[in-house]
């Protein structure tokens, strides 16, 4: 309240050539009474439900329009998490922030404010802000309103232009930025408050892409210390993490340091884990350079290392403060890794983005050529779907399980081949085929969905035939992973595009059915 949101919103609408809607005014127009009198006569709960209905309708209309509006909403409108997550998914949400003293001064100067009608308004503002801090932190950006309105509007417009995908994780929320050739230009602003940056990469990636990032960090006035690992999963271990800790310490990195991970999923997983533990936790930023690290590892906050043969056996949830997916970096990624990651993109389309599925079908050849705009679109869409799922379910309680589509059999095939013959993505491609075929056998998956997906996987260059795959051995490995509950496996079935379900299947039945797929 009293942040100047209506004026700022109108200014942003003006400069972006969009219509402007003030939610309070829309509620007033609809009910024929003022916000103050609605509060007084019907109470806050009733006002919130009117506000919610009104905002829901505005969002419904905006979803189908070419010129979606700029909407100014009151500080209570996005407190309900379901509505906030919807707004984060469909809009760019900017929180305008100010100190309690300044906000109280402004609010009182503007007259009646229903929420402040107590003996100590400033204390009330302080309490409200504390109560709502987590909700406000989940916005794409928080910007100070204690500046001239024109510059506040300019800052808000810049956030809108960046169009980050919001990963809502309470106070640890962050944005994933997707674009082409922008990481070096953007990274400086993100480390402005860090006297030291620890830039972590692997030797292959470092030789190709580190100089520009390092120069940009140095130009931002931060001192850069570097760690470059030997590339590959074999080096994803605690010894590598220790070398990050030691380099950081030798470089006098303190709690204000930022770790920057430049590389594939191995580098981002290890850097995130090193950051989670160094000085009990420092900031880190991901600059993923493989398609897999962009579409999968950039969301979810999972960090860690392998221990002996146990993948990701040691780790922590530790969110990055930002992720920069610069698709230019993918131009040098080896073909096999890029194509493998497309299996996760197809999986994601099946789970939650029918439009992306259609895009992949119509543009399969251009996908393989790594057209920059198209690749950016696929990364953005994949990140959005995963962010949406993970935001609803931060700690893997249930909903997140849908992300395992294709992974139950996929993991088994990958493990059976000793993690060498098949890449993870290739195994997932075969796992998707298995999940679709099993779904057909159990009457859950329509045949034409299987056929369409198989055809798409083939056209993208992924393996899509189970014939000749070691299903007998793989079947025995199913359920040997940590996600098994009792003697049942929660199996993910595809019912349609953007429509998946998880069902418990007894392990013995699942093994029998997988064996039957070989025929
Ligand atoms: N945290 C998560 O949620 C999550 C999700 C998926 C995967 N992962 C992890 O990610 C890892 C796999 O990631 P990956 O496939 O990116 O492997 P990777 O990091 O090993 O990279 C693969 C290879 O490509 C090279 N490379 C990377 N980017 C390049 C570029 N732009 N140009 C040229 N070469 C480049 C690397 O040097 C490496 O040799 C696994 O350890 C997996 O556990 C984590
Ligand atoms: Zn996967």
Q: Tell me the per-residue pLDDT of 454-466, one tens digit each, with 9 for 90 and over.
A: 999 999 999 999 9
Q: What is the pLDDT of residues 195-239, one digit of tens each?
A: 999 999 999 999 999 999 999 999 999 999 999 999 999 999 999
- For residues 445-451, average pLDDT: 98
210 Cβ closer than 6 Å to some ligand 1 atom: no
C-alpha of residue 188 to centroid of ligand 2, in Å? 31
If one counts every other C-beta atom within 10 angstroms of the C-beta of residue 107, the result is: 20
pLDDT score of 483 more than 60: no
Distance (angstroms) between ligand 1 centre and the Cα of 338 equals 10
Residue nearest to atom 2 of ligand 1 (CA): 297
> Taking residues 37-50, what's their average pLDDT?
92
- What DSSP state is assigned to residue 73? -
The per-residue pLDDT for 421 is 87
Q: Confirm or reject: Cβ of 36 under 6 Å from ligand 1.
A: no
Q: What is the mean pLDDT of residues 474-480?
A: 83
* Per-residue confidence (pLDDT) for residue 487, from 0 to 100: 85
Ligand 1 centroid to Cα of residue 348, in Å, is 18
Q: Of 399, 451, 455, 457, which is closest to residue 431 (Cα–Cα)?
A: 457
Question: Which among 289, 290, 257, 285 is positioned nearest to 271, based on CA atoms?
Answer: 285
Output the CA torsion sign for 52, 55, 61, 64: negative
Do the beta carbons of residue 12 and residue 70 sit within 8 Å?
yes
Task: Give the angle subtended at the CA of 138 by the CAs of 164 and 390, to the nearest 5°.
Answer: 80
* Closest approach atom of ligand 1 to CA 302: 1
Around Cβ 43, how many Cβ atoms within 10 Å? 10
pLDDT mean over 124-152: 94
- Concatenate the DSSP letters of all residues of 225-257 into one string: EEEEEPSSGGG-SHHHHHHHHHHHHHTT--TT-
Atom of ligand 1 nearest to the CA of 303: 1
**What is the number of the ligand closest to the CA of 351?**
2
Which ligand sits nearest to residue 293's alpha carbon?
1
Ligand 1 atom with minimal separation from the 204 CA: 37
Distance 264 CA to ligand 1 centre (A): 3
Q: What is the mean predicted confidence (pLDDT) over 266-293? A: 98
The reply to whether ligand 1 has any atom less than 6 angstroms from the CB of 337 is: yes
Q: If DSSP states are collapsed to H, E and C, what string results for 182-232?
A: CHHHHHHHHCCCCCEEEEEEEHHHHHHHHHHHHHHHHHCCCEEEEEEECCC
**From the CB of 263, is ligand 1 less than 6 Å away?**
yes
Average pLDDT score over residue span 97-111? 91
Q: Which residue has the tokens 């006098």?
A: 252
**Average pLDDT of the chain, as a whole number:** 94
Confidence of residue 64 (pLDDT cuts 50, 70, 90): confident
Q: Rounded to the nearest whole angstrom, what is the distance from the C-alpha of residue 367 to the centroid of ligand 2?
A: 19
Q: Which residue has the higher pLDDT, 450 or 397?
A: 450
CB 405 within 8 A of CB 510: no
pLDDT of residue 397: 64
> What is the pLDDT at residue 482?
45
Q: How close is the Cα of 232 to the center of ligand 1, in Å?
A: 8
Ligand 1 site-directed mutation target among 213, 293, 420, most atoms within 8 Å of CB: 293
- Say if CB 271 and CB 236 are below 8 A apart: no
Share of the chain above pLDDT 90, in %: 85
If pLDDT is split at 50, 70 and 90, which confidence band does 498 have?
Answer: very high
CA–CA dist 439, 65 (Å, integer):
36
Is 329 touching ligand 1 by the criterion CB < 6 Å? yes
Rounded mean pLDDT of 308-337? 96
Counting from 1 in the atom list of ligand 1, the atom nearest the Cα of 332 is: 32
Ligand 1 mean position, distance from CA 238 (Å): 17
Q: Percent of the chain having pLDDT more than 70?
A: 98
Instruction: Return the active site residues.
Output: 280, 302, 344, 386, 396, 400, 404, 407, 411, 424
pLDDT in tens, 12-35: 999 999 999 999 999 999 999 999
Residue 300 CB less than 6 A away from ligand 1: yes
- Cβ of 289 less than 6 Å from ligand 1: yes
- Indicate whether 341 pLDDT > 60: yes
76 touches ligand 1 (CB under 6 Å): no
Residues forming beta bridges with residue 144, ordered by sequence position? 97
Residue with tokens 């799922």: 389
Closest residue by Cα to atom 20, ligand 1, is: 232
Q: Which residues contact 335 (CB under 8 A, 6 or more apart)?
A: none
- Residue 234 Cα to ligand 2 middle (Å): 18
pLDDT confidence tier of residue 485, bands split at 50, 70 and 90: low
Residue 200 Cβ contacting ligand 1 at under 6 Å: no
Alpha-carbon distances, residue 115 vs 30, 99, 124 (angstroms): 21, 17, 8
Which of 169, 176, 205, 396 has most ligand 1 atoms within 8 Å of its beta carbon, as the pocket-test mutant? 205
What is the 292 CA–ligand 1 centroid distance (Å)? 7
Question: Would the CB of 272 count as within 6 Å of ligand 1?
Answer: no
User: Within 10 A of 224 (CB to CB), how many other CB atoms are there?
Assistant: 19
* Residue 204 Cβ < 6 Å to ligand 1: yes
* Closest-CA residue to 382 (of 463, 296, 323): 296
Q: Is the CB of 304 under 6 A from ligand 1?
A: no
Give pLDDT tens digits for 365-388.
Answer: 999 999 999 999 999 999 999 999
- pLDDT tier, 395 (very low <50, low <70, confident <90, very high otherwise): low
Answer yes or no: is pLDDT of 346 > 90: yes
* Closest ligand, as measured to the CA of 207: 1
For position 399, what pLDDT does the model report? 82
Say what the pLDDT of residue 170 is.
Answer: 92
Dihedral angle at the C-alpha atoms of 461, 462, 468, 474, nearest 10 degrees?
160
Give me the pLDDT at residue 481, please: 56
């Amino acid at each position: 309240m009293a942040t100047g949101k209506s004026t700022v919103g109108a200014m942003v609408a003006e400069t972006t050539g969009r219509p402007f809607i003030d939610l309070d005014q829309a509620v007033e127009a609809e009910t024929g009474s003022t916000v103050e009198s609605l509060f007084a006569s019907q109470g806050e709960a009733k006002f919130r439900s009117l506000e919610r209905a009104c905002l829901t309708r505005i969002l419904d209309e905006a979803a189908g329009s070419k010129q979606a509006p700029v909407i100014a909403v009151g500080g209570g409108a996005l407190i309900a998490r379901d509505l906030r997550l919807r707004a984060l998914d469909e809009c760019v949400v900017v929180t305008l922030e100010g100190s309690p003293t300044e906000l109280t001064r402004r609010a009182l100067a503007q007259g009646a404010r229903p929420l402040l009608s107590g003996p100590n308004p400033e204390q009330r503002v302080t309490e409200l802000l504390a109560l709502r801090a987590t909700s406000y932190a989940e916005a794409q950006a928080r910007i100070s309103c204690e500046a001239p309105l024109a510059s506040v509007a300019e800052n808000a417009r810049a956030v809108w232009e960046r169009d980050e995908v919001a990963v809502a994780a309470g106070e640890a929320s962050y944005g994933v930025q997707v674009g082409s050739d922008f990481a070096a230009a953007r990274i400086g602003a993100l480390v402005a408050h860090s006297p030291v940056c620890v830039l972590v990469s692997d030797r292959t990636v470092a030789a190709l892409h580190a100089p520009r990032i390092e120069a940009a960090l140095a130009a931002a006035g931060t001192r850069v210390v570097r760690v470059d690992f030997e590339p590959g999963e074999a080096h994803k271990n605690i010894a590598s993490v220790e070398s990050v800790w030691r380099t950081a310490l030798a470089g006098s990195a303190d709690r204000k340091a930022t770790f920057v991970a430049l590389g594939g999923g191995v580098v981002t997983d290890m850097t995130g884990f090193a950051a989670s533990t160094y000085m009990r936790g420092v900031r880190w930023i991901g600059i993923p350079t493989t398609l897999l690290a962009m579409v999968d590892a950039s969301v979810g906050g999972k960090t860690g290392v392998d221990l002996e043969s146990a993948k990701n056996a040691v780790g922590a949830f530790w969110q990055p403060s930002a992720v920069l997916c610069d698709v230019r970096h993918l131009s040098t990624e080896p073909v096999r890794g890029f194509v493998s990651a497309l299996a996760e993109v197809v999986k994601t389309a099946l789970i939650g983005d029918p439009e992306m599925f259609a895009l992949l079908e119509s543009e399969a050849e251009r996908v393989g050529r790594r057209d920059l705009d198209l690749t950016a679109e696929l990364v953005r869409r994949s990140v959005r779907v995963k962010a949406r799922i993970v935001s609803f379910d931060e700690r893997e309680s249930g909903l997140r399980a849908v992300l395992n589509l294709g992974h139950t059999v996929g993991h088994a095939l990958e493990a059976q081949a000793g993690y060498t013959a098949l890449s993870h993505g290739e195994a997932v491609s075969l796992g998707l085929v298995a999940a679709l075929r099993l779904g057909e056998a159990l009457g859950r998956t329509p045949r034409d969905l299987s056929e369409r997906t198989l055809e798409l996987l083939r056209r993208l260059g992924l393996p899509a035939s189970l014939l000749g795959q070691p299903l007998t051995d793989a079947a025995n490995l199913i359920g040997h992973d940590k996600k098994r509950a009792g003697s049942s496996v929660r199996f993910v079935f595809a019912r349609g595009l953007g429509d998946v379900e998880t069902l418990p299947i007894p392990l013995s039945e699942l093994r029998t059915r997988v064996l039957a797929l070989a025929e």
